[in-house]
Structure 1
């Protein structure tokens, strides 16, 4: 099987990527296209569903051509996707009835607040909080606000899906309306204990069950591509939401294994085995992966903006010309530079969960310049990671090291500062595309290419291990100042 490859579709928040992996995890072909972010109102974030489809399709066609030219035969397809982002489409036309409402979108904050007395019930069934972040309130908004939508939904004419479901529908030419357990677990409609769509939750959010996809294991038969789409009837055999896919890609298969992905946002997932750990510190209990009907759970902490902070510096205010410049600028300053950024651009995630928070910048003087902005943006991600680590420990679970991945961790300075703030080893893998790799592993598992999780674990190799170096006095001083900045930001939000 030396000429066998697996196509992984990685549909993210800011770009659509396709990668063909060899069975040892190395890349054979890679294509990526960015797409437009739409902000129609304060706190609203949308994507053009057709642009998501076209960028995904073009990326797939490019890598299939590249792989074919190298004599590689693609055995199957895995899909990983931005989670919670919500699409509702017409089953007859295949067209979305409204732009995709992105996970970062806060338009339903008022509605979620109005049913806050039901949060205990929602949390007990889903492991999640009652927040605009998740799909349920977004679905309700579309059904309520798009003229005629609810009537069509009740008639069975509409379909809901997270991005994985929508892509599968298109790839199979409307023959498969499915999702996997990880994506389902991010909707606020899925009972993670019974592993079923929950009647009480559907009633709470007033959502007709007929619009929901069938929920499968992460490694399963999701459908077969229509040959007119990609030129061949490829099997789609693996699906997981992006953060859970990274958990698999990092081979975090044992309880206590922790991975932290630094992409547009930052998401830390800790494997808790077959036990769903209920958090008292606003972390999320979620499905880590489900294989052969057996669910492995994870405890998750979410930071809404990570790489997006750097993107803002580059595209929003022009402080950076390119993202890689941030490392050089950060290295030019001492630890006592005095500037702190609390990046509440889309509210603050765990452990605060405040949708009204907005970004704040503290400690500026006339001498403040691009280097301070860049370093404060990078440091903020590490301080927030420390907040997640602290919350996990208070919930009774922890890890002695953390596997990192995502575009940001190519920055050595960031990895070292993260290590210093967390005071644990930070391990960076050689194969950095852990999210896409995880989807490929799942697809290969179902296709019989990999026989077990142990065989998948053997693929993982370490690029570099970072060891804590920062003195505790300096570390504590920085964390104290960060805590004051967060307190002030939350006070302003009130």
Structure 2
């Protein structure tokens, strides 16, 4: 009997493939990074062919390493970087352009033009998302406006446009299946989250034909079967697809309204389950589909932050203040407690809840006390402040008080950051025993759909370690006030310019 499940996490930095056992335990994982194409304008791209080749190689290597045959794999689950968007030829499978990564703000002019045309509210009403180059729609519109081949293929009904999951499913099924799930669809800024269908009005506003978009399928639906382009000796069903943050929410067992998680990756997603009906935010959060399981949709409030874990990479690669991310915890603990510096990491604008795509980052409050240790601490603290901005607003708008924030991602290993996070949030922060929550969520969804895992038992394999608040209220409020002043310094020039 097939008793293993493969979990694929196609992240911003690379591809991860995990092998799960009969009880949902992680047996092994392999991963491989792909090239980041970044130019002087800050535009960010990936090579989708490179990603597909990496995935095929990893799957074959993982199964060979563990002496597991394809016939022993019951199902595959996929989680993916969400708003990254691309277009390819429906007949040949050849991309017409590189994938435009979610961090890339090249669609800003397109969004600004639409805003001047009075289309911003219409877009948000249908999609639950504020008009922004962050989402897929403006990236796809940019391809259509700047790649003549793409326009020609769309007019000839030969163009596929989608997110990374739909590209991988297309490749995995030899072009037989062009599908995405509800969570990914809801992040494109083209999907009507009330009617659960592509919005013709919004697609028209962006110049996109709905026929070029994938079929939207249950997150635990059957997406086809794959032998990874002949790499394996037997086909395996693809039985779950989730956007990575949604997969992490599912893997964290945040299945009830009011439960929330934060994923610390290159950027961060803070997400709260709000149940079966959408709730529109009035203050900068977005409403999306958490997932749709067996025909039953669930919704979330979410705030996306452009730069969290990536700020630590910046300390290492650009400033060369550290040799490895592990150093940051000790350096932050050595920082002078009287230092008043703050860092706002608006490298390519600010995400939720500010949505200021033209914002620029800054260090502020610097004095003679500020040195290397203090700068490192300010960078770590900026992660926690940004998470708190979103979490506080979620509680306010949803009416749910957070019982705890469940967290995942590499930076959660930093005990200084996690303690500061719980202190600023003033609620417990819970870290699961396993790290790869996006892959876990996708694999568990696939395994449950395939009848390998039990819904009530498989999530019990995760144990949790909790950090609890220790900071007094006066200190917390003073620190938050300093952060708000720093944010104000970033936003004030933009407000003056717009006026």
For normalisation by structure 2, the TM-score amounts to 0.95
Query: Could you tell me which of 440, 443, 448 is aligned with 1:440?
Result: 443
Moved >6 Å (runs of 4+): none
State the alpha-carbon separation in 2 of the partners of residues 359 and 23 from structure 1.
47
RMSD after superposition: 1.7
For the pair 1:257 / 2:256, whether they are aligned, the reply is no
Structure-to-structure mapping, 1:87-106, within 5 angstroms? 87-106=86-105
Preserved contact between residue 421 and residue 475 of structure 1 (Cα < 8 Å)? yes
1:206 Cα shift? 1.1
Q: Residue 428 of structure 1 aligns with which residue?
A: 431
Structure 1: state its 5+ residue gaps: none
Q: Residue 134 of structure 1 aligns with which residue?
A: 135
**Which 10-residue stretch deviates more, 144-153 or 11-20?**
144-153
Structure-to-structure mapping, 1:391-410, within 5 angstroms? 391-398=393-400, 399-410=402-413
1:68 Cα shift? 2.2
**Which 10-residue stretch deviates more, 346-355 or 108-117?**
108-117
Task: Tell me: CA distance 1:364–1:291, structure 2 relative to 1, closer, same or farther (3 Å).
Answer: same
Structure 2: state its 5+ residue gaps: none
Q: Residue 14 of structure 1 aligns with which residue?
A: 13
1:4 Cα shift? 2.3
**Which 10-residue stretch deviates more, 33-42 or 181-190?**
33-42
Structure-to-structure mapping, 1:170-319, within 5 angstroms? 170-226=171-227, 228-231=229-232, 232-319=234-321
1:317 Cα shift? 1.9
Q: Residue 359 of structure 1 aligns with which residue?
A: 361
Task: Tell me: CA distance 1:358–1:58, structure 2 relative to 1, closer, same or farther (3 Å).
Answer: farther
SS at match of 1:395: helix
User: How many residue pairs get matched?
Assistant: 491
State the alpha-carbon separation in 2 of the partners of residues 403 and 313 from structure 1.
26
For normalisation by structure 1, the TM-score amounts to 0.96
Superposed CA offset, 1:21-60 (max 9, x none):
2243322111111222112242311111122222222222
Preserved contact between residue 171 and residue 229 of structure 1 (Cα < 8 Å)? no
1:72 Cα shift? 9.7
State the alpha-carbon separation in 2 of the partners of residues 268 and 23 from structure 1.
30
State the alpha-carbon separation in 2 of the partners of residues 408 and 282 from structure 1.
25
1:175 Cα shift? 1.0
State the alpha-carbon separation in 1 of the partners of residues 22 and 315 from structure 2.
38
State the alpha-carbon separation in 1 of the partners of residues 169 and 347 from structure 2.
32
State the alpha-carbon separation in 2 of the partners of residues 7 and 428 from structure 1.
23
State the alpha-carbon separation in 2 of the partners of residues 21 and 492 from structure 1.
51
Task: Tell me: CA distance 1:71–1:297, structure 2 relative to 1, closer, same or farther (3 Å).
Answer: closer
State the alpha-carbon separation in 2 of the partners of residues 45 and 130 from structure 1.
20
